[in-house]
Amino acid sequence: MNSAVAAARMILTRLHEVMASRLHVQGKLNQVVDIIGESLDSEVCSIYLLREGMLELFATRGLNQSAVHVTRMAVGEGLTGTIAANVETLNLAEAAAHPDFQYRPETGEEKFHSFAGVPIVRRERAVGVLCVQHVEPRRYEEVEIEALQTTAMVLSEMISNAGLVDDDAMGGINPTLSGPELASGLALVKGLASGTAVFHQPRVTIEHTVAEDIEAERQRVYLAFDKMREQIDKMTGQAEFGVGGEHEEVLATYKMFAYDEGWSRRINEAIDSGLTAEAAIERVQQRTRMRMRQIDDPLLADRMHDLEDLANRLLRIVSGQLGTAAAKGLREDTILIARNLGPAELLEYDRRLKGVLLEEGSLTAHVVIVARAMGVPVLGRVRGLRGLVREGDPLLLDADAGTVTIRPSPTVIEAFEARFAKSKERQATYARMRDVEPVTRDGVRVNVKINAGLRDDMPLLNLTGADGVGLFRTEFQFLVSATLPARERQTRLYRDVLDAAGDKPVVFRTVDIGGDKVLPYLRHDDGENEENPAMGWRALRVALERDGLLKVQARALLEAAAGRTLNVMFPMVSETWEYDAAREVFQSQIAYLKRQKKSLPEAIRYGVMLEVPALAEMLDVLIPKVSFISIGTNDLTQFLFAADRANPKLAERYDWLSPSILRFMRRVVREVTGHPVDLAVCGEMGGRRLEALALLGIGIRRLSITPAAVGPIKELVRQVDLGEIGAAMEGWLAHPPASMRETLRDWATARGIDCD
Ligand code: PEP
Ligand code: MG
């Protein structure tokens, strides 16, 4: 046993004695502050508990005893209130320097400098705060903070047994919840749903924290680990959504955590220190949460959710508090509510869900990728969600608009149902458009392809009747993997994608990582954070520097496309030599495969994304070298306007329909016309009807768009006369109107063209 474990054990043994003693609860609290004060060599140790909505000083060693039950503060007030409000630990060498510091004269605390405090948590809410103060300014060490956190767990049990704090704070449902509420969040998977709120899982409440028999606790945790691993293996083996989807990689990462020896070792150490199996799991999870919080990396945060998912599963097994909502008989119209979900947890519900609402969640989270494969709309980042909704509440989820209405009024329900019916009708119309050719009124066939990035997107090719995949974002595989995907894995994905596409072409874009798409396993050599990542070390710039990356991908693509046509596209080409260099990497791999007598693609077509304006000045040099060019308007417009595409303050400022963008692209169209080079647009712009109309007007005949837009765009194309819109656009671009958008919309409306 190491010394930290031994020290923790000593504290726990003493706390255990206090808990088991016949003292009244106030006497027990008085003893606890003495034990902690002595063990941490702190002049002050205090316990604040939530009573009647206020944090009240219940026991102290070191502050004036006359302040006990007198000093009270609101949640959010002072350092103690801040700890309770944020349910977060504070560790400060100089308390007075913290912006939330408030001095309470009755306590006599002015002589103390350092301060550390931890929340006392019950059912995820703070029901009190345990803190220590010290005369000398120093930060408390990690082991000391951990001792405080462990003590806070024991205190949580003690005060709950004694019925000491507010019932509401103990996790009771807020009785004032009634009447409609509208909450907004981030649309993670789009769609509409009407249903009933079902909580995924009330968190396991830990009833006993201090172990009676350490060996028995160790056995319990061993058995629970075995059972959990068995469950995960079974789940990964029978995931219903086909073998080989992205979720397979997701589950592989998940499995890696389940078998992580470090994790089980840390839990065992916590048991050695005297905690029960449940408390040990929670203790280790708290520590991990705290560490991860210090790392500001969204990808790591997503992995953290997987780990939370597993820790909860382990807790449920060990405590016998089984049963998420998935295990019980689920209502037909369930909209699931959770803080966050792990991918495996979501898979347990298979396709029975109408929708999912999360307090957390992000676009790159594994659970979102799985939800997309399941076709379940997800709204994430709904703040305070679980405080707004009660189990069984009726909900209207509008992930398209990024909102959810809780307990809607009859008028809201009526409006929603009308919208829902319209959306279903539209979907049906678009489904019927599947076999309809996008031919303009004057007989020109427009090429409409889809943008994709996952294996699970491929069925959409047939469902929409699109002409192929105009942009396959290969970096998605890299983003959902815990480690750099090995070549065989890449080959397997590309081959599956080509198989799924059949005769239709697929344009594979080589990895566009770096910039904002940071991979934890691929960092800049000097480890620096970029100030301006969109214009930084990304895409081909990374791929050419990390030669191995592109080489491996080239081999994977060439092998996957053996005997077929391979379309390769390079992103973020800024100068033509970058294109030459990337192509050279492919050439050398071809030479290698030839030497190995391996079969090669029947034909290889190379192309570039036109996203960096500088490249447009070099089209005369570029055109003879390429088979196709695809304009990436998402990036192109951010560079043309010098406006970060991810900055919400600028989201509405510049219009895709501005004459400058349209003139720029028209120039490109003119230069390419007459050459055997396919020119397409593959940014989001092409999937919107009014914008697509403008693109047709400047001579674009190929679009690659989000799959949901294929139906609407086909419908548009069939209403348009290219001669007419071309002439109108010429006039507007020669003499730009005050608002191109308004002008274009009026023009379309006058001709009965629906552009919404
Ligand atoms: C673009 O920039 O327009 C594009 C299609 O690529 P991405 O959105 O992946 O950067
Ligand atoms: Mg781009």
> What's the one-letter identity of residue 584?
E
Contact between residue 689 and residue 755 where contact means Cβ atoms under 8 Å apart: yes
Q: How far is the CA of 635 from the centre of ligand 1 (A)?
A: 6
Which pLDDT score is estimated for 651?
63
* Mean pLDDT calculated for residue range 716-731: 97
Residue 599 vs residues 7, 411, 555, 590, 592: alpha-carbon distances, Å: 65, 64, 12, 10, 11
Q: How far is the CA of 551 from the centre of ligand 1 (A)?
A: 22
Residue nearest to atom 1 of ligand 1 (CA): 632
Same domain, 123 and 227: no
Q: What are phi and psi of 396, to 5 degrees?
A: -120, 110
Of 112, 147, 170, the residue at which a domain comes to its end is: 170
Q: How confident is the model at residue 116 (pLDDT cuts 50, 70, 90)?
A: very high
Ligand 1 atom at minimal distance to the Cα of residue 683: 3
Contact between residue 713 and residue 448 where contact means Cβ atoms under 8 Å apart: yes
From the number of C-beta atoms within 10 Å of its C-beta (0-12, 13-18, 19+), residue 136 rates as: exposed
Ligand 1 atom at minimal distance to the Cα of residue 630: 5
Q: Answer with the residue of higher pLDDT: 260 or 90.
A: 90
Least confident interval from 126-140, 163-177, 389-403, 638-652: 163-177
Q: Which ligand is nearest to the CA of 452?
A: 1
Ligand 1 atom at minimal distance to the Cα of residue 632: 3
Enter the tokens of residue 195.
């249903």
Ligand 1 atom at minimal distance to the Cα of residue 571: 6
Same domain, 68 and 205: no
Same domain, 553 and 621: yes
Same domain, 601 and 639: yes
Count CB neighbours of 333 within 10 A: 16
* Res. 520: pLDDT tops 80: no
> What's the one-letter identity of residue 570?
F
Residue nearest to atom 8 of ligand 1 (CA): 634
Same domain, 56 and 131: yes
List Cβ neighbours of 613 (8 Å cut-off, separation of 6 or more): 636, 639, 640, 664
* Res. 729: pLDDT tops 90: yes
Q: How far is the CA of 609 from the centre of ligand 1 (A)?
A: 9
Count CB neighbours of 752 within 10 A: 7
Ligand 1 atom at minimal distance to the Cα of residue 634: 3
Residue 423 placed within a domain: no
Contact between residue 637 and residue 631 where contact means Cβ atoms under 8 Å apart: no
Q: What total number of domains does the chain contain?
A: 3
Q: Distance from CA of residue 257 to its chain's centroid?
A: 18
Same domain, 389 and 319: yes
Enter the tokens of residue 541.
């710039």
Q: How far is the CA of 632 from the centre of ligand 2 (A)?
A: 5
**Which residue among 449, 469, 473, 508 is best mutated to probe the pocket of ligand 1, counting the most ligand atoms within 8 A of its Cβ?**
473
| H or E element, residue 261 | helix 261-272
Same domain, 67 and 30: yes
- What domain range includes position 30? 3-170
Beta-bridge partners for 406: 181, 395
* Res. 243: pLDDT tops 50: no
* Mean pLDDT calculated for residue range 291-318: 75
Looking at mean pLDDT, say which of 160-174, 554-568, 641-655 comes out highest: 554-568
Distance CA 251, CA 576 (A): 41
Q: Which ligand is nearest to the CA of 637?
A: 1
Among the listed residues 714, 190, 682, 706, the one whose alpha carbon sits nearest the alpha carbon of residue 452:
706
Ligand 1 atom at minimal distance to the Cα of residue 473: 9
Distance CA 453, CA 475 (A): 8
Contact between residue 498 and residue 560 where contact means Cβ atoms under 8 Å apart: yes
Q: Answer with the residue of higher pLDDT: 216 or 125.
A: 216
List Cβ neighbours of 561 (8 Å cut-off, separation of 6 or more): 494, 498, 601, 604
Q: How confident is the model at residue 242 (pLDDT cuts 50, 70, 90)?
A: very low
Q: Are strands 565-570 and 603-610 parallel, antiparallel or unpaired?
A: parallel
Pocket of ligand 1 (CB under 6 A): 471, 473, 512, 611, 632-635, 682-683
Residue 656 vs residues 50, 256, 639, 690, 753: alpha-carbon distances, Å: 54, 44, 13, 10, 19
Same domain, 187 and 164: no
| H or E element, residue 194 | strand 192-199
Which pLDDT score is estimated for 267?
93
**Which residue among 682, 695, 703, 705 is best mutated to probe the pocket of ligand 1, counting the most ligand atoms within 8 A of its Cβ?**
682
Residue 705 placed within a domain: yes
Q: How far is the CA of 695 from the centre of ligand 2 (A)?
A: 18
Which pLDDT score is estimated for 606?
98
- Average pLDDT over the chain reads 86
User: Which tens digits make up the pLDDT trace of 48-75?
Assistant: 999 888 999 999 999 999 999 999 999 8
Q: How far is the CA of 192 from the centre of ligand 1 (A)?
A: 26
Percent of the chain's residues with pLDDT above 70: 87
Q: Answer with the residue of higher pLDDT: 297 or 620.
A: 620
Q: How far is the CA of 153 from the centre of ligand 1 (A)?
A: 48
Q: Which ligand is nearest to the CA of 516?
A: 1
Q: How far is the CA of 682 from the centre of ligand 2 (A)?
A: 9
Q: Answer with the residue of higher pLDDT: 718 or 528.
A: 718
DSSP 8-state symbol, 525: T
Q: Answer with the residue of higher pLDDT: 523 or 487.
A: 487
User: Which tens digits make up the pLDDT trace of 126-167?
Assistant: 889 999 998 888 889 888 898 899 899 989 888 888 777 654
* Res. 239: pLDDT tops 90: no
Contact between residue 478 and residue 513 where contact means Cβ atoms under 8 Å apart: yes
Residue 361 placed within a domain: yes
Q: How far is the CA of 678 from the centre of ligand 2 (A)?
A: 18
Ligand 1 atom at minimal distance to the Cα of residue 611: 2
* Res. 463: pLDDT tops 50: yes
Q: Distance from CA of residue 63 to its chain's centroid?
A: 45
User: Which tens digits make up the pLDDT trace of 188-210?
Assistant: 888 899 999 988 876 677 888 98
Residue 210 placed within a domain: yes
Residue nearest to atom 7 of ligand 1 (CA): 634
Q: Answer with the residue of higher pLDDT: 104 or 641.
A: 641
Q: How far is the CA of 733 from the centre of ligand 1 (A)?
A: 25
Q: How confident is the model at residue 531 (pLDDT cuts 50, 70, 90)?
A: confident
3-class state of residue 63 by DSSP: coil
Among the listed residues 327, 313, 307, the one whose alpha carbon sits nearest the alpha carbon of residue 230:
313
Q: Answer with the residue of higher pLDDT: 238 or 184.
A: 184
Of 381, 415, 449, the residue at which a domain comes to its end is: 415
* Res. 236: pLDDT tops 50: yes
**Which residue among 635, 637, 703 is best mutated to probe the pocket of ligand 1, counting the most ligand atoms within 8 A of its Cβ?**
635
Q: What is the CATH number of the domain that holds 397?
A: 1.10.274.10
Q: How confident is the model at residue 432 (pLDDT cuts 50, 70, 90)?
A: confident
Ligand 1 atom at minimal distance to the Cα of residue 685: 3
Which pLDDT score is estimated for 529?
66
3-class state of residue 377 by DSSP: coil
Q: How far is the CA of 636 from the centre of ligand 2 (A)?
A: 8
Q: What is the CATH number of the domain that holds 456?
A: 3.20.20.60
| H or E element, residue 56 | strand 54-61
3-class state of residue 657 by DSSP: coil
Which pLDDT score is estimated for 254?
74
Q: How confident is the model at residue 388 (pLDDT cuts 50, 70, 90)?
A: confident
Among the listed residues 130, 154, 168, 270, the one whose alpha carbon sits nearest the alpha carbon of residue 206:
154
Q: How confident is the model at residue 176 (pLDDT cuts 50, 70, 90)?
A: very low
Residue with tokens 């009014």: 690
Among the listed residues 342, 333, 267, 274, the one whose alpha carbon sits nearest the alpha carbon of residue 304:
342
Residue 28 placed within a domain: yes
Same domain, 466 and 546: yes
Q: What are phi and psi of 569, to 5 degrees?
A: -125, 135
Same domain, 642 and 715: yes
Contact between residue 718 and residue 667 where contact means Cβ atoms under 8 Å apart: no
Residue 428 placed within a domain: no
Q: Answer with the residue of higher pLDDT: 212 or 536.
A: 212
Q: How far is the CA of 732 from the centre of ligand 2 (A)?
A: 28
Same domain, 261 and 389: yes
C-alpha dihedral (528, 531, 533, 538), degrees to nearest 10? -40
Q: Answer with the residue of higher pLDDT: 736 or 254.
A: 736
Residue 709 placed within a domain: yes
Q: How far is the CA of 533 from the centre of ligand 1 (A)?
A: 14
pTM over 0.85: no
Q: What is the CATH number of the domain that holds 70?
A: 3.30.450.40
**Which residue among 507, 609, 704 is best mutated to probe the pocket of ligand 1, counting the most ligand atoms within 8 A of its Cβ?**
609
Residue nearest to atom 9 of ligand 1 (CA): 473
Same domain, 478 and 337: no
Q: Which ligand is nearest to the CA of 631?
A: 1
Q: How confident is the model at residue 371 (pLDDT cuts 50, 70, 90)?
A: confident
Of 139, 170, 201, the residue at which a domain comes to its end is: 170
Residue nearest to atom 6 of ligand 1 (CA): 632
* Res. 301: pLDDT tops 70: no
